[in-house]
Amino acid sequence: MSGGEQTAPPGATQDAPGMFRCFVGLPLPPEWQDRLAALRDELSVSGHASGDVRDPALTDLLRRLRWTPPGNWHLTLRFLGGVPASRCGEVADALKAIPFAPVSLAVGGAGVFPARGAPRVLWLGLARGARECAALAGAVDAALVPLGFAPDDRPFAPHLTLARLREAHRPDRRENDRQRNDHQRHERRGGESPSPPFPRAAWEARDALLAAVDARVSRSASPWPGCTVRDMVLWRSDLGGAHPVYTPLAVLPART
């Protein structure tokens, strides 16, 4: 999220009455929002560059991308889930007690979650600032433990979510049987195999998508600018419309 504060639309939903869906993160500056929007436009099916690999699997992958809307891009430090509205002030106060320096960021390479199998999330990593973000995420966890938020037991992986992928059409039974047999033969040979089985064409399409993102991020004619983030934000997320609406509940300036 960047720029002016977004106002939740009438009728925006909450997880439950009196609960706000909240997360803590770093806002991205307007120049990054603009570059991410341009990346989205270039990688749409209609704007797909003629120099990229054009094959049915890649085209299908591009069609299934559901991009984060411009202005909503951010770097999540901790997703909190449903928080009672009456306790958001306590959460903000706990976050205010965290001393942190401004964070210098440089964009890195593209990736997907999960790393193996059918991708569900397309993201960009960080070439600079990952260690600082991980340390800040750890400080957020520690600050919220006294309020009853258990630390996240998953390793922190700083990333910018570019898009989520709609579920693909499921293959028919014959294709499922073929994939399962290929998977079992590969396992008997002692090799590493994706789990669940994933067709070769889909692997190639995924790799082509990541290569296309990396090529646009790293092009020398228009290098991606670095940035320094000077605030941490506690956001409320409303899911009632076509896209989430993020409303800052507290903006916490860096301080050492």
Task: State yes or no: is 183 an active-site residue.
Answer: no
What's the burial of 14, exposed, middle or buried (CB within 10 Å: 0-12/13-18/19+)?
middle
Exposure on the CB side of residue 230, measured as CA atoms within 13 A: 0
Q: Which of 74, 169, 183, 243 is catalytic?
A: 74
Q: Which of 48, 159, 169, 243 is catalytic?
A: 159
CB 239 within 8 A of CB 40: no
CA distance 36 to 137: 23
CB 88 within 8 A of CB 234: yes
User: 191-217 burial by CB neighbour count: b if 16+ within 10 A, else e?
Assistant: eebbeebbbeebeebbebbbebbeebb
Task: State yes or no: is 48 an active-site residue.
Answer: no
Give me the active site residues, please.
74, 159
